[in-house]
Structure 1
Amino acid sequence: MPSSVSASAPTPPSPATLWTPLTYSVFRAIWIASVVSNIGTWMQNVAGVWLVTTLTTSALLVALMQTATSLPAFMLSLPAGAMGDLVDRRKLLLCTQGFMGVVAFVLGILTLLGQVSALGVLGFTFLLGIGAALNAPIWQTVTTELVPRPVLGFAITLNGVSNNIARALGPAIGGIIIAHYSPGYVFLLNGISFVGTLLVVYRWKRNAETSSGPTENFMGALRTGIRYVQYSPAIYAVLFRTFGFAFGASAMWALLSVVTARRLHLQSGSYGVLLSWLGAGAITGAFLMGRAGHRLNFNQRVLLGSCVFVGTNVGLALAPNEYWLFPVMFLSGIAWLMTMTSFSTTVQLHVPKWVQARVVSIYMLVFQAGLSIGSIVWGELADRLGLQQALLGAASWMAVSLALAIPFPMRSAEGLDLTPAENWPAPTIEGDVDPDHGPVMVTIEYQVPLADQPAFRQAIARLSRLRLRDGALNAGVFADLASPTSITEFFYVATWGEHERQHHRFTREDLLVEAEVQRFHTGPEPPQVRHFLSFPKTTNVELPTPVESLEGPR
């Protein structure tokens, strides 16, 4: 497995605080660079929309600016995650930051020369969106390499603070430059911000990665990431909760400007002030979490954040004037940061490094889907039923979504050891096996007394889930009809190379599940493991077959 910077970092002070991640020099440098880069991005957003507004009378083209920014995330989030796990992350960051810097500089120069059209701005915005979509999952997972696990939650919180500082400062700075000079200068400044990040990442001396088994191909890596989420209850619980929260919270982002302009009859300046209160709340939330965050677990934080957003949507629907909305937006900012960092931290703490970027990309895709679909739904309801009814409907959704905590509780990651176990002995084979040959079936034979078999079935079901999560296409158990105490576990994978990768994916945490299964074995020798390659060699089976049961014979 790849080694990380954090592996040689000093032990964090006990207890860690919000400022602890900043004591690690590489994280501190990258965090400062991200603040500058995020400010440039928010400046770019304001300048791009304003420029399109001045270049065309089409409201559709102006609205398409948001599409040009978000569409690449839907298209490229999963491929970006696969790339982040297959290719050196430092090199990918250098490529994405350099690409976005070049695009920003070219757009700035063309704008200053008066050679850009509204469609041209849309095109350049789409290119920047591509860079951001490829960059996002890699940037998030890099944090796990820069700080040790005990302070990772605070590091992710600081990343949220970075974006909210930029949200507060970027539009204001961009607006001033546009008012006195030209949007072209904003684009150039954004390009310079990417250069700063590029230099910081270039100076980061990331430890070289070592190969852990045969290299995965791109499509196989995509399937593996999806399969890992499918068989990881802790992960898909977060995804369900994330979508439910994002869907309801999207009403605030989608309808705040409409509330400001149409219900309260205020100007754009008031809209900016409300966003500033939101950003101030998010920054305050970071300090509160740093001081008292340990008193609430992640599940409780999400529940509290959802309750606050029930009030947010009610406040937007019923507040008589903007002054009532100032505390509403402030509390919403606290709740937003607290909830989103809880989701992100839970995902990253539950995932080993080999699949981390892929899982984070799926999480980001689900989050963006919740925001996008929610915005469409609440906007359509506002047009058909009225603004207040749509906001009250969103508040009702948030209240109902609290019930998701019952079937999908967010599990604690405290104490999890996700480092590779590397304890599986290499199978004894004659000759060489082509890594692309398959499928491969593995069997493990146990001797389990009849009285222990009900408990054994529960334990082996958990182990079978791990086999499926780490690459098996099917898994289960059989009992010998002639000898009922003889139980055989089986699983098969698409290729021999994929099975070799399974050896490196099994973690020390998984050893506990395996040990629970093996304690039921009563034979004189350890459970016997056999490996079977299809005979004659057949075409690789790519798609998993349905698993009817993970519990074994009834």
Structure 2
Amino acid sequence: MKHSPPAPAGGSAWAPLRENTFRALWLAQFVSNTGGWMQTVGAQWLLVGHGAALVSLVQVAAGLPVLLLALPAGVLADLLDRRKLLLVMQTAMAAVASVLAVLALLGVLGPWVLLLLTFLLGCLTALNGPAWQALQPSLVPREQLRQASALGAVNMNVARAVGPALGGALVAGAGVGWTFALNAVSFLGILLVLLNRRTFGNAPRRGQEREQALAALRAGGRYVRSAPRVRRILLRNALFVPAAACLWALLPVTAVQRLDLGSAGYGVLLATVGVGAILGAGALPRLSARLGAGGMLAFAGTLIAGTLVVLAVTTNAVLAGLVLTLAGAAWVWGLSTLSAALQLELPNWVRARAGAFYLLVFQGGNALGALVWGQLAQHAGLTTALGASAALLGLGVLSLRRLPLLDGRVDPSLSDTWPEPQLIVEPAPKDGPVLVTVSYRVADDDVPAFVRAMGDVEASRRRTGASAWGLYRDAAEPDLFVETFTVTSWGEHPAQHHERYTGLDHEFENTARAFVRSEPLVTHAVMRRG
């Protein structure tokens, strides 16, 4: 099987910032992320006296909604105008943050109300996430996606440094309520950028039939099930994120119990993560070219595991800051490797839906990992929890030998080479299911190679919409093969031709047809009802 060549490096680590819209959104996102981390510090500090388990629930409440809402959010982001969807979500998040601020400033914000409102913010973030993630490929050239992914991680981690430092100072000097208030204001930048941009690349074509929500959800699931490289990216995500989540979930407890730091010291400690993130992003292009995707994941996992081990045994804040610098770089390397691999793989029609599966694994892994590590620290001790997560990360690194990211780069751009079906009667979009048959004549010597090639065709048909597929050999005419596949509706079948059929799908079909002696015969049959 052939693949398109690897994408070029795309210039320096900072090249995507030359794109005006990417730069404006990146800066606005940095302000918003900074506000979010200020709020997280305020929330965790408000709960730190209640024990490690309750502190870890802040991260659980923020991330758990993804398990419920990521997939529906991915459907919405692919079917609706992403700009309008983001405007609604960002406005709603600003409103919830404002409620948190008012309650905190009035002194009536209890622990469980705080967690409930944090959960609501998490729900809105989950609905916002797939649309936000799907923006990136429309803002930068394809060859800069890896750098753009790294800059996204840098954005989060520098905000992780600046936000807690500011948040710690605010908590110490003015009180927790002001961290919530500034977070509410921080959404304004993104709202202003979105108001000045009409669309983000998912406007439907003229005359294009809009997918139904449930059908779109099923189509996204079929795509992921039939895309081996996407499934492997999700697996590597699941083997990296939940274990690494221990670092972020238990760092405030580590700062208090082992390093004897106050809120300002905790903010400074997190600032070292931001420094590491910046250094890591700068080194990413050269390091990635030398180590490859698998090597980057192994290096990142090893560094974070080592950081956890050091934090489990040291009481020296300076040493902790040094290893957290390495962890900041490693976090950028790991996340940018996985995120870029996914974005390079996905065609636009399913980008948000498949991205929702990624967010489901990432945010769900963060939330569930934080819950597990918090409970373990509460009942078995902080050192045990940090050591266990380091061991789990080490096992993930070792598993890369047997479960690496799959090689090969593909071009997910659309191909218009599938011919239009010749019909006398045009079915209605909701008519179906539709049975498509393709008859091939194959010489006996070419049968084994043809059957192997049709395995790739099967995956292609299922990715683009087939709910069932089969390949049959005629018992009376052994050179006759009949491919059958079923699509749930006539409206979805033309989408296979125009919105979902990529250059890779065309390549698979050409490879199989190279063994065919004459032009295949194609039929379309629509189920008759009543």
Give the equivalent residue in structure 2 for 1:21: 16
The one of 468, 485, 490 equivalent to 1:474 is: 468
Q: Distance in 2 between matches of 1:268 and 1:176?
A: 7
CA deviations on 1:251-307 (whole Å, 9 max, x unpaired) are 323343444444555555554443222222122101111454332322221121122
TM-score (structure 1 length as normaliser): 0.87
Q: Distance in 2 between matches of 1:141 and 1:394?
A: 31
Q: Distance in 2 between matches of 1:53 and 1:329?
A: 21
- 2:210 maps to 1:195: no
> Secondary structure at the residue paired with 1:245?
helix
The one of 71, 91, 98 equivalent to 2:84 is: 91
Q: Distance in 2 between matches of 1:521 and 1:480?
A: 15
CA deviations on 1:338-358 (whole Å, 9 max, x unpaired) are 001111111111000110011
The one of 376, 396, 407 equivalent to 1:401 is: 396
> Secondary structure at the residue paired with 1:314?
helix
- 2:226 maps to 1:234: no
Q: CA deviation at 1:246?
A: 1.4
Amino acid at match of 1:452: D
CA deviations on 1:451-498 (whole Å, 9 max, x unpaired) are 111111110011101111111111121001111111111111111112
Q: Distance in 1 between matches of 2:202 and 2:56?
A: 44
Q: Distance in 2 between matches of 1:62 and 1:258?
A: 8
Q: Distance in 1 between matches of 2:495 and 2:101?
A: 47
Q: Distance in 2 between matches of 1:179 and 1:387?
A: 25
- 2:189 maps to 1:170: no
Q: Is the 8 A contact 1:90 1:201 kept in 2?
A: yes
Amino acid at match of 1:487: F
Q: CA deviation at 1:15?
A: 4.8
Give the equivalent residue in structure 1 for 2:341: 346
Q: Is the 8 A contact 1:81 1:357 kept in 2?
A: yes
Q: CA deviation at 1:49?
A: 4.3
The one of 247, 252, 258 equivalent to 2:247 is: 252
- 2:517 maps to 1:537: no
Amino acid at match of 1:157: A
1:101–1:332 CA distance, 2 compared to 1 (3 A): same
What is the CA RMSD across the aligned residues, in angstroms?
Answer: 2.7
Amino acid at match of 1:126: F
Q: Which residues in structure 2 correspond to 1:20-419 (within 5 Å)?
A: 20-50=15-45, 64-112=57-105, 118-206=111-199, 209-211=203-205, 213-263=208-258, 270-319=265-314, 321-382=316-377, 386-412=381-407, 414=409, 416-419=410-413
- Work out the percentage of aligned pairs sharing the same amino acid: 40
Q: Distance in 1 between matches of 2:212 and 2:493?
A: 14
Q: CA deviation at 1:129?
A: 1.9
> Secondary structure at the residue paired with 1:537?
coil
> Secondary structure at the residue paired with 1:496?
coil
Q: CA deviation at 1:195?
A: 1.5
1:384–1:59 CA distance, 2 compared to 1 (3 A): closer
Q: Distance in 2 between matches of 1:521 and 1:274?
A: 65
Q: Which residues in structure 2 correspond to 1:441-520 (within 5 Å)?
A: 441-504=435-498, 505-520=500-515
Q: CA deviation at 1:520?
A: 0.3
> Secondary structure at the residue paired with 1:297?
helix
Q: CA deviation at 1:100?
A: 1.5
CA deviations on 1:204-230 (whole Å, 9 max, x unpaired) are 233672338422111221121121111
Q: Distance in 1 between matches of 2:98 and 2:389?
A: 41
Q: Is the 8 A contact 1:65 1:125 kept in 2?
A: yes
> Secondary structure at the residue paired with 2:273?
helix
Q: Is the 8 A contact 1:448 1:521 kept in 2?
A: yes
Q: Distance in 2 between matches of 1:260 and 1:43?
A: 17
1:162–1:464 CA distance, 2 compared to 1 (3 A): same
Q: Is the 8 A contact 2:37 2:164 kept in 1?
A: yes
Q: Is the 8 A contact 1:281 1:329 kept in 2?
A: yes
Structure 1 residue runs of 5 or longer lacking an equivalent are 1-11, 539-554
Q: Distance in 2 between matches of 1:305 and 1:489?
A: 45
CA deviations on 1:292-328 (whole Å, 9 max, x unpaired) are 4332322221121122233223323334633433332
Q: CA deviation at 1:234?
A: 0.5
> Secondary structure at the residue paired with 1:428?
coil
> Secondary structure at the residue paired with 2:269?
helix
Q: Distance in 2 between matches of 1:296 and 1:22?
A: 25
> Secondary structure at the residue paired with 2:301?
helix
Larger relative contact order (Cα-Cα within 8 Å, sequence gap ≥ 6)? 2
Q: Distance in 2 between matches of 1:192 and 1:120?
A: 21
Q: Distance in 2 between matches of 1:53 and 1:259?
A: 11
> Secondary structure at the residue paired with 1:441?
strand
TM-score (structure 2 length as normaliser): 0.90
CA deviations on 1:101-129 (whole Å, 9 max, x unpaired) are 22333443454455655554444333322
Q: CA deviation at 1:364?
A: 1.1
Q: Distance in 1 between matches of 2:144 and 2:279?
A: 19
Structure 2 residue runs of 5 or longer lacking an equivalent are 1-6
Amino acid at match of 2:186: S
1:148–1:476 CA distance, 2 compared to 1 (3 A): same
Q: Is the 8 A contact 1:244 1:370 kept in 2?
A: no
Q: Distance in 1 between matches of 2:508 and 2:72?
A: 31
> Secondary structure at the residue paired with 1:99?
helix
Give the equivalent residue in structure 1 for 2:4: none
Q: CA deviation at 1:380?
A: 4.5
> Secondary structure at the residue paired with 2:425?
coil
1:77–1:284 CA distance, 2 compared to 1 (3 A): same
> Secondary structure at the residue paired with 2:439?
strand
Q: Is the 8 A contact 2:9 2:144 kept in 1?
A: no
Q: Distance in 2 between matches of 1:318 and 1:58?
A: 20
Q: Distance in 2 between matches of 1:383 and 1:48?
A: 19
Q: CA deviation at 1:421?
A: 0.9
Q: Is the 8 A contact 1:241 1:404 kept in 2?
A: no
CA deviations on 1:62-113 (whole Å, 9 max, x unpaired) are 6654343223222211111111100011111111111122233344345445
Q: Is the 8 A contact 1:17 1:291 kept in 2?
A: no
Q: Distance in 1 between matches of 2:486 and 2:358?
A: 28
Amino acid at match of 2:298: L
